[in-house]
Amino acid sequence: MRHIISVLLENEPGSLARVVGLFAQRGYNIDSLTVAPTEDATMSRLTLVTHGNDQVIEQITKQLHKLIEVVKLQDLSESAHVERELMLIKVKATSNEQRDEVKRCADIFRGQIIDVTAKTFTIQVVGTSDKLDAFIEALKGSAIIEVVRSGVSGIARGEKTLAL
């Protein structure tokens, strides 16, 4: 099953390497990973998407917890949460027909065209990973030139928090 694990990490040199290394050493999967400092610059927040059976996920959270620099963590998928991912996608758009089609599609997915040239459109789309997958699928007819995705960021709904 797919899990989204949120980690508060000491913002120290090498701490990210330790998290990534753990996944490599123990043969766990990383589907996506995002990391940036929080409002407190001494701490980073990391969102990690992984998959595995319950036993594997339990080991992943326990092993992450064992890392000295991990302050706190939470398996977001265990309760109500919001997840978002940002994608920038560059497509070929030369003919009028093609340009209209891409624009329509972007509108449907509430994407924004953030860069335009005579031959290309660059579109920004935000949503769940599924939505971004669907957008790529919808544009398959057009020539996709380049895709860049941020990886998932997530936060628990309501009162539940992951903070000091």
8 A C-beta contact, residue 46 and residue 6:
yes
Binding mask 22-41 for another protein (x = CB under 8 A): ---x----------------
Angstrom distance (rounded) from CA 83 to CA 29: 19
Minimal distance, residue 19 CB to another protein, in Å: 11
8 A C-beta contact, residue 127 and residue 118:
no
Max alpha carbon distance in the chain (Å)? 57
- Report the residue number, 20 or 136, with the smaller CB distance to another protein: 20
- Which of 2, 51, 65, 110 binds another protein (CB under 8 A)? It is 65
Q: Which stretch binds another protein (CB under 8 A): 16-24, 44-52, 86-94, 102-110?
A: 16-24
Q: Is 53 in the site for another protein (CB under 8 A)?
A: no
Angstrom distance (rounded) from CA 60 to CA 47: 13
- Which of 37, 51, 59, 94 binds another protein (CB under 8 A)? It is 59
8 A C-beta contact, residue 1 and residue 25:
no
